[in-house]
Amino acid sequence: MVPSSYYLVLSAVLFGLGVVAFVFKRNIITIFMSIELMLNAVNLAFVTFSRHLGNLNGQVFVFFVIVVAAAEAAVGLAIIILIAKHRQSLNVERVDLLKL
Amino acid sequence: MSDFFAQPSVWVVSIIKVIVVMALMMTALAYLSWFERKVVAHIQSRWGPYRVGPHGLLQPLADGLKFLFKEDPTPGGVDKLVYFLAPFLAMSLALCSIAVIPFGPSPLLQVADVNIGLLIIFAITSLGVYGVALGGWASNSKYPLLGGLRSSAQMVSYELSMTMSVVGVVLLAGTFNLREIITQQQGFWLGFIPRWNLLAPPFPQVLGFFIYFVSAIAETNRVPFDLPEAETELVAGFHTEYASFKFAMFFMAEYANMITVSCLATLLFFGGWLSPLPSTGVMAWTLYIPAAAIAACAVILFIDGLRYSTRFGRILLPILSLALAGLAVVCALEGVVQLIQGPFWFLSKVFLFLFFYVWLRGTLPRFRYDQLMSFGWKLLLPLSIANVVLTSWFVLANMSK
Amino acid sequence: MMPSAQIIVFFVLAAVAVLGAVSLIVQRHPIRSALSLIVVMVSLAGLYLLQGAELVAAIQIIVYAGAIMVLFVFVIMLLNAGEEERTNVSRIARYVGLPLGFFLLLQLAWWVGRGTQGTATAVGRSPAMTKNISRLLFTDFLLPFELTSILILVAILGAVVLAKREN
């Protein structure tokens, strides 16, 4: 029987690595992927607590988080495609003006 | 699960099952390629392979040797990790889904009996898109990239209608467990019509079956949906730049996907390992149909072997037919008759589906890419959603009675 | 005394997940980062299975690893994203920032780990079967369920409008 604290530590580590990737990477798509990594870490915490408390609400919430992540990925990637076509570059340091 | 390692009987049996299934699967893949070449050839009024061994039966062996010894060039400028990963990924995922398919009623005939067996097969199919997409991209060349993108877009689109069309069956059965879906299709109406999901009350899943089969053909990139790998269009699509061994892996992955999809169609819609004829009372002779079928094959093979043109054929074919006759006698023995029913009917139904696949390949022209995509999104997906709505309507009406 | 099979499987899957996440940071080409993220997601699905959450594991692979990440891979291929350029990261960020970041991460892990000592409670009210989850979805969580379906519709429309070519 694996203690819940093991899973929560793993979730925290993955979340932290997602934050590090978000801060240090310069490619827009990689930054977007680090957001997905953070969402996955949170999902792991939800499922762990769902088992710890014997309540299925946690797993239903994971379902909603995945759906919202899908919607966000679709719209976000469409925006990224537009930015890349306008700026001719995927480097996030080049997208620093409010004017296109 | 904590004492899984402490019970060697469990995991030793599992390992043996895995090895047996893998060996059978690889042989089936090799001879499926022979079968396809022979059938397509006869449809096109020619003979197909007939030189390498009698009736070309040793052709897969020759092909395997060729794939092992041919030069394996790696094009320049490719991303080496992804280039080597893509065919291995395609093939290993294609072989994984056999793990949850039950070949017969005994628990020995299924490697893993999971409660969500159907969902696992769909999960593995969704991951199979990566083999194609990454293979096309890693080749660092125009035609494979286009072929890979088109092929993976097609696979993703038809995955939707494929999974939706199966929801009707899940509604009728109330479970994702493949074994329970089959056991709920047991029994006969009026004594002789089998209670398969194709004809089941309250709503026969005929529409679901047709949508499933068409989507499955598109999902496995077979004719008439094989534009992305057609020779006249895109050289060879996503596997242009892949040479001997890696091409063999893509090739085998495609056949393994075909086999998986055919197995799933028989399990979900045609009763899996259940016999189409009742086998009790007056009809107890139907228990001997497997033995009779194998014996008939043995006799035909013997007569054909005696009159074959080469001496090697005149020796080999009668020996094979004697082995088949021995198998037929074993199937008619008292203890074995009951055991052989399940696998025999399952395998013959799968064989019929595979024959249908190959028949389509020899007969139909291919769809253009935009026709293909509009067919999937504008026709099949709404039809599969309509199937779900109708099935749930009828199930609800039945429940409230 | 050999640890139980569950602990071994947990550590293997956790190691694969952490290695995948580190590989996401370290790799320079976005397609390799995408592949590392897929590895993380598949190992997380394995962890969900280890905890008995089978429906969530299947949904994670079918939707997250099998559809969302395919979208990412498509976009990377379409935009022909190349390797990242090396711009000058400031010295402070590399020599002070990274160690501080990892120290923060360790602190977080330490406090989280101490928060829930002890093993999970015995099997709760209902086992994690598909039937029970779907019953919850259609009774207690009906409003969020309908709202997310509208959300997906809006997202589809938005993506199509944004990515359409200017006629």
- B341-383 tens-digit pLDDT: 888 999 999 999 999 999 999 899 888 888 999 999 999 999 9
Nearest chain A residue to C80, by CA: A90
Cβ within 8 Å, pair A44-C136: no
Residue tagged 């909603």 (tokens): A64
Of all residues in chain C, what percent carry a pLDDT higher than 90? 46
C30-51 tens-digit pLDDT: 999 999 999 999 999 999 999 8
| Contacting residues of B for C26, CB less than 8 Å apart | none
- The one-letter amino acid code at B32 reads L
Q: Which site among C47, C146, C153 would you substitute to test the A interface, given the most A Cβ atoms closer than 10 Å to its Cβ?
A: C47
Task: State the average pLDDT over residues C78-96.
Answer: 72
Q: Choose the closest CB to B1 out of C6, C67, C77.
A: C6
Beta-ladder partners of A42:
none
DSSP assignments along A42-96, one per residue: HHHHHHHHHHHHT-THHHHHHHHHHHHHHHHHHHHHHHHHHHHHHHS--BGGG--
Q: Pick from B319, B296, B268, B343: which is nearest to B109 by CA? A: B343
Kind of pairing between the strands at B188-189 and B193-194 = antiparallel
Write out pLDDT tens, residues A12-41.
Answer: 999 989 988 998 888 899 999 999 999 999
Nearest CA in chain B to C7: B2
pLDDT at B1: 44
The pair of three-digit structure tokens given for residue B249, joined into one six-digit string: 């892996």
Structure tokens at C25: 């940071």
- Residue C110: per-residue pLDDT: 81
Q: Which residues of B touch C61 (CB under 8 A)?
A: 123, 126-127
CB C66 to CB B137 under 8 A?
no
**Which three-class secondary structure state does DSSP give residue A27?**
strand
Mean of the per-residue pLDDT values for chain C?
A: 84
Distance from CA of C1 to the nearest CA of A (A): 15
- pLDDT tens-digit map of C121-144: 544 445 667 888 888 888 999 999
Task: Identify the chains in contact with B, defined as 3+ C-beta pairs within 8 A.
Answer: C
pLDDT for C46 = 94
The answer to whether C51 contacts A20, with C-beta atoms less than 8 Å apart, is no
List strand residue ranges (DSSP E) for C18-139, in order. none
Position B191 scores a pLDDT of 63
Mutate to test the interface with B, among C7, C13, C31 (most CBs of B within 10 A): C31
Q: From B4, which residue of chain C is nearest by alpha-carbon distance?
A: C5
- Bridge partners, residue B188, by sequence: B194
Evaluate if residue B281 carries a pLDDT over 80.
no
Counting as contact any 3 or more CB pairs under 8 A, the partners of A are C
Cβ-based contacts of C66 with chain B (< 8 Å): 123, 126-127, 129
Residues of B in contact with C54 (CB under 8 A): 114-116
Share of chain B above pLDDT 70, in %: 95
Helix axes A57-87, A28-53, angle to 10 degrees: 180
User: Of residues C13 and A98, which shows the higher confidence score?
Assistant: C13
Tell which residue, B88, B222, B78, B91, has the closest CA to residue B137. Answer: B78
Give the model's pLDDT for residue B327.
87
pLDDT tens profile B165-206 = 999 889 888 889 898 888 888 777 666 677 787 777 778 888
Q: State the pLDDT at residue B318.
A: 87
Q: Smallest Cα–Cα separation from B297: which of B267, B328, B319?
A: B328
Is residue A9 over pLDDT 50?
yes
* pLDDT (tens digit per residue) in B77-100: 788 888 888 999 999 999 988 889
Residues within 8 A of A (CB atoms), C 30-89 only: 30, 33-34, 37, 40-41, 44, 47-48, 50-53, 55-56, 59-60, 63-64, 67-68, 71-72, 75-76, 78-79, 81, 84-85, 87, 89
Average pLDDT score over residue span B123-147: 86
Question: pLDDT at position B2, please?
Answer: 45
C146 part of contact set with chain A, CB < 8 Å: no
The count of CB pairs under 8 A between chains B and C is 72
The SS3 assignment for C80 reads coil
Q: Give the one of A16, A56, A79 whose C-beta lies nearest to C128's C-beta.
A: A56
Chain C environment of A13 (Cβ under 8 Å): 18, 21, 105, 109
Question: Phi and psi (nearest 5°) for C119?
Answer: -85, 175
Chain C positions in Cβ-Cβ contact with residue B5 (cut-off 8 Å) = 2, 5
CA nearest to A1 within chain C: C6
Q: What is the nearest CA distance from C76 to chain B, expressed in angstroms?
A: 10
Mean pLDDT in chain B? 86
DSSP per-residue letters across B335-388: HHHHHHHHHHHHHHHHHHHHHHHHHHHHHPPPPPHHHHHHIIIIIIHHHHHHHH
Give the residue from A4, A68, A81, A88 with the most C CB atoms within 10 Å of its CB, the best one to mutate: A4
CA atoms C118, C123, C128, C134: torsion sign:
negative
pLDDT, greater one: B396 or C3: B396
C1 has a pLDDT exceeding 70: no
pLDDT over threshold 50, residue A55: yes
Chain C interface includes A73 (CB < 8 A): yes
* DSSP symbol at B54: G
Predicted confidence at residue B4, as pLDDT, reads 60
B3 reaches C (C-beta below 8 A) = yes
- pLDDT single digits (tens) B38-83: 999 999 999 888 888 888 888 989 988 888 888 878 888 788 888 8
Flag if C77 and B145 touch (Cβ within 8 Å): yes
For residue A38, the chain C residue with the least C-alpha distance is: C21
Which pLDDT score is estimated for C124? Answer: 47
Q: Return the DSSP state at C64.
A: I
Per-residue pLDDT of B229-270, as tens digits, reads: 765 555 666 777 777 788 888 889 999 999 999 999 999 998
If phi > 0 it is left, if psi is from -120 to 50 it is alpha, else beta; for residue B367 that is beta
C-alpha separations of B200 from B194, B208, B209, B270, B400 in Å: 9, 12, 12, 10, 18
Report residue B219 as tokens.
């999902």
Quote the minimal CA–CA distance from C125 to chain A in Å: 6
Q: Hey, is the C-beta of B119 within 8 angstroms of any chain C C-beta?
A: yes
pLDDT tens digits for C104-118? Answer: 888 877 887 776 665
- Residues 8 through 67 of chain A touching chain C, CB cutoff 8 Å: 8-21, 23-27, 29-30, 32-34, 36-37, 40, 43-44, 47-48, 50-57, 59-60, 62-64, 66-67
For residues C80-87, average pLDDT: 70
pLDDT at B190: 66
Q: Choosing among A33, A38, A46, which should be mutated to test the C contact, i.e. which has the most C CBs within 10 A?
A: A33
Query: Chain-wide mean pLDDT for chain A?
Result: 89
| Residues B127, C65: C-beta atoms closer than 8 Å | yes
